[in-house]
Amino acid sequence: MQADILSKLKSSAESCYMCSLAETRKKAVFGEGPFDAPAMLVGEAPGADEDELGRPFIGRSGRLLSSLMEEAGLPREKLFITNMVKCRPPENRLPARKELEACRPYLLAQIAAIRPLLVLAVGNVPARAFLHTGEGITSLRGKFYTAELEDFPFMVRPVFHPSYLLRNRSVEEGKPVSVTLADLQEARKFLEKAIPGF
Ligand code: URA
């Protein structure tokens, strides 16, 4: 049932022309992971590598994120990984408001089908969208928030975007890399508590 809904949604995203990103994309990046994943990870938008291969977070920043997830005991295969917009914005710019709006139905339908307990909001764009705030990720991260979709509540944990970590590579305590690792560990603990055997 979930698999069916998501596979139809994927085909529809792959032939979507609801915004102008369709004109420049090579491949739409719908997302990947278990259809019944207890958690989703939502980034901003696909980059060049993702656009080429049609998979989320597989470029340089994705590899860093994946290795931090692995270190935190939260391997990426256990989560459903996607982005706010499914097609690459040219020059890797941030997605525009119109593009976010055009793509929102896909994300909402993904959340409604997967019904995650937790969403990791990666970077400013998803953190602000999920938490309905203009505040930045630096003040938002480090906490769990509650969100709701169609009477279905879930938690949101904002984390720094890995491209920011690539520009701030110190692994000293208190710096972005180590606080992100701590955020991911908190997310893993939350899931372990909620789902025995996670
Ligand atoms: N950055 C994102 O936000 N998402 C990706 O899939 C890759 C890079």
**Any ligand 1 atom below 6 A from CB of 66:** no
pLDDT in tens, 94-149: 999 999 999 999 999 999 999 999 999 999 999 999 999 999 999 999 999 999 98
Q: What is the pLDDT of residue 178?
A: 98
pTM: 0.98
**Any ligand 1 atom below 6 A from CB of 125:** no
101 lies in which domain range?
Answer: 2-194
Neighbours of 170 (CB within 10 A): 11
Q: What is the pLDDT of residue 7?
A: 97
Q: How many domains does the chain have?
A: 1
> What is the H or E stretch that residue 155 is in?
strand 152-159
Backbone angles phi, psi at 58, to 5 degrees: -120, 0
CA of 147 to the centre of ligand 1 (A): 22
Could you give the CA distance from residue 186 to residue 156 in angstroms, rounded to a whole number? 12
CA of 4 to the centre of ligand 1 (A): 25
CATH number at residue 54: 3.40.470.10
Strand order in the sheet with 80-83: 80-83, 39-43, 118-122, 152-159, 145-149
